[in-house]
């Protein structure tokens, strides 16, 4: 039981490049989330998917898109990366109103 | 808008001393509350949670937290801190009807002096 997995672990991009962060969970959870973590700002919700087939914006969605590929997988795409998107990205999953389980994170540097 | 406040950005305690980390929230509805811990370079691990019932909840690693509705608080405590408790601690709040979303505080960095 791997829990929540994220790929890649680290990534360096140049401004304007695109990339997709992958997330998968094997706990049969309905809801999945993408957060970014920046120093002194805690975790901020980018997008979430309450159930398969639905996605909604969170607090900081600009510059990002998401796809809920199936119940297990939820990807985050940066179409044209900017230095302001340098951050640590966490994926999480949960059942209804239960504990959110987090992946190990992806550290992204945009030059 | 909902908000979560962790007023202490950094806290330093001596090993063996007691610890209290503060968390206050502003929500209109009945909240459910979490404390997570993050070691450097790691993801977040759940310490404890409160949904309903007994307002004093026990968690892993000897931590406990008390929900005080009148003070809109959910402070985390530990009677005797160990050097391995040095980490960042996050309080998070959700509420029924909130779409399973959580709002996180900005975190408290705990340093333990030997």
Q: How does pLDDT run across A11-56, given as a tens digit for each residue? A: 999 999 999 999 999 999 999 999 999 988 999 999 999 989 999 9
How do strand B3-5 and strand A101-102 relate by DSSP bridges? unpaired
Closest CA to B7 of B75, B58, B77, B94: B75
pLDDT digits (tens, 9 = 90+) for B78-89: 999 999 999 999
pLDDT digits (tens, 9 = 90+) for B17-67: 999 999 999 976 778 999 999 998 889 999 999 998 899 999 999 999 999
How do strand B87-95 and strand B108-113 relate by DSSP bridges? antiparallel
Chain A interface test: which of B7, B59, B100, B104 (most A C-beta within 10 Å):
B100
CB contact under 8 A, A99 and B105: no
Chain B interface test: which of A48, A52, A102 (most B C-beta within 10 Å):
A102
pLDDT digits (tens, 9 = 90+) for A69-78: 999 999 999 9
**Structure tokens that stand for A68 in this block:** 């809920």
Residue numbers in B near A102 (CB within 8 A): 36, 43-45
CA–CA distance, B100 with A91 (Å, rounded to integer): 14
Q: What is the DSSP letter of A8?
A: -
CB contact under 8 A, B100 and A56: no
Q: What's the Rg (C-alpha) of chain B?
A: 14
Q: Give mean pLDDT, residues A89-110.
A: 92
3-state secondary structure of A26: coil
- Residue A10: CB partners within 8 Å, gap ≥ 6? A106, A107, A108
Concatenating the DSSP letter of every residue in B47-94 gives EEEE-SS-SEEE-GGG-EEEEEGGGTEEEEEESS--GGG-EEEEEEEE
Contact at 8 Å (CB) between A101 and A1? no
> B32 and chain A: CB distance < 8 Å anywhere?
yes
């Amino acid at each position: 039981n791997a829990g929540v997995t994220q790929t890649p672990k680290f990534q360096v991009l140049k401004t304007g490049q695109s990339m997709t962060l992958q997330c998968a969970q094997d706990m049969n959870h309905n809801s999945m989330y993408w957060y970014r973590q920046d120093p002194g700002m805690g975790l901020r919700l980018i997008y979430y998917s309450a159930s398969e087939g639905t996605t909604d914006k969170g607090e900081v969605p600009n510059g990002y898109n998401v796809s809920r590929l199936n119940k297990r997988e939820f990807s985050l795409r940066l179409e044209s990366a900017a230095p302001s998107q340098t951050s640590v990205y966490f994926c999480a999953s949960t059942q209804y109103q239960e504990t959110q389980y987090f992946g190990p994170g992806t550290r992204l540097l945009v030059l | 808008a909902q908000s979560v406040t962790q007023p202490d950005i950094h806290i330093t305690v001596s090993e063996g001393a007691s610890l209290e980390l503060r968390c206050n929230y502003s929500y209109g509805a009945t909240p459910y509350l979490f404390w997570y811990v993050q070691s450097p370079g790691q993801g977040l691990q759940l310490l404890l949670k409160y949904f309903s019932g007994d307002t004093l909840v026990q968690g892993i690693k000897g931590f406990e937290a008390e929900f005080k509705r009148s003070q809109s608080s959910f402070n985390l405590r530990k009677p005797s801190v160990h050097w391995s408790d040095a980490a960042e601690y996050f309080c998070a709040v959700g509420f029924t009807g909130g779409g399973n979303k959580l709002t996180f505080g900005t975190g408290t960095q705990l340093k333990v002096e030997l």
